[in-house]
Amino acid sequence: MNSIFSPSSPSCLPSSYRNPTPCFQLWPNYKCLSHFSFINHRLSSLSIQSTSASHKSTTYAVTPSSEGAIPVMNFEDFVEKDWSFLDADDISSDEVYKQNTDRIISAGKVGAESKILISTGSEGFVDRVVDTCSYKQLLVVHDSLFVLACIKEKYDKVICWQGELIFLPEKWAPFDVVFLYFLPALPFELNQVFGALSKVCSPGARIVISYPKGKELVEQQKVEYPDVVVSNLPDKPTLECAASDHSFTMVEFIDEPGFYLAVLAYKSS
């Protein structure tokens, strides 16, 4: 796996320890030696080869000489939130789920030159985007180091960034397609989300807010996973009101018992 977990500063901590969250990045062209042991969705150890014996809590990965040494946190018994419910339905065996996922991806109108952002996507959803789309760049933003590590292990060219969506650096922007796959996991007001997206979207960009199992399941998951699912999927008037304040207009809205899709277009002022 050609990747590295690198914080934006040596004091950077995971979001479970600090809010707001600086980021951990998984870069496509840097090499680090790491070992993961996952038990019951728990990241029990993360060890990265150190090039400096004088740092006990922070290790350093070897990078090209122009980059210098990047500080990397070394975690012991690091526990993550349980995101397994997002991949509870295997899209390879659930035909309805697969069809709904394809409807979501199709709504983004991804092209060969598209720069895509996926926020809090399941591993299966990312798999489907990679398998069915041609694109220029794909960036996955997630709170979970475990999920990002699994994605990065399979797709070295996919950029992975650990942190909160509203603090996403603009260096990968502008984005043409944004998939907010699981909006109820974002601990922010809609106004904050659209405000952040307006800074990183290209004119005409499509924002796809979705969930292939629908709003009813989200409400159930909110009870079962209160530390992860912190809100519900918004109704149409609420969504339109928040979006219009940041130059987003509604293109499509579907709220069925087993499927939710809202598509918005960005028109920069």
Residue-wise pLDDT tens digits, 174-189: 999 999 999 999 999 9
Least confident of 55-59, 225-229, 254-258: 55-59
**Rg (Cα) of the chain, in Å, rounded?**
18
Higher pLDDT, 75 or 156: 156
Query: Which CATH number fits the domain 84-266, given the four candidates 3.40.50.150, 3.40.50.720, 3.40.30.10, 3.10.310.40?
Result: 3.40.50.150
Percent of the chain whose predicted confidence (pLDDT) is above 90: 62
* pLDDT at residue 15, as a whole number: 38
* pLDDT at residue 199, as a whole number: 96
**Terminal-to-terminal C-alpha distance of the chain:** 42
Average pLDDT, the chain: 77
* Tokens representing residue 129 in the block: 């985007």
Across the beta sheet with 137-142, the strand order is 5-7, 24-26, 159-162, 137-142, 115-119, 175-180, 201-211, 259-266, 248-256
Cα–Cα distances in angstroms (integers) from residue 47 to residues 5, 44, 67, 70, in the given order: 11, 10, 21, 15
E strand intervals along 88-238:
115-119, 137-142, 159-162, 175-180, 201-211
Pairing mode, strands 5-7 and 24-26: antiparallel
Q: What is the pLDDT of residues 66-105, one digit of tens each?
A: 444 444 545 444 567 888 888 875 455 588 888 999 999 9
What average pLDDT does range 216-223 have in this prediction?
93
Domains of the chain, by residue range, sit at 5-76, 84-266
pTM as predicted: 0.74
Q: How confident is the model at residue 141 (pLDDT cuts 50, 70, 90)?
A: very high
* pLDDT at residue 86, as a whole number: 85
* pLDDT at residue 79, as a whole number: 60
* pLDDT at residue 78, as a whole number: 53
Q: Phi and psi (nearest 5°) for 237? A: -60, -40
* pLDDT at residue 72, as a whole number: 52
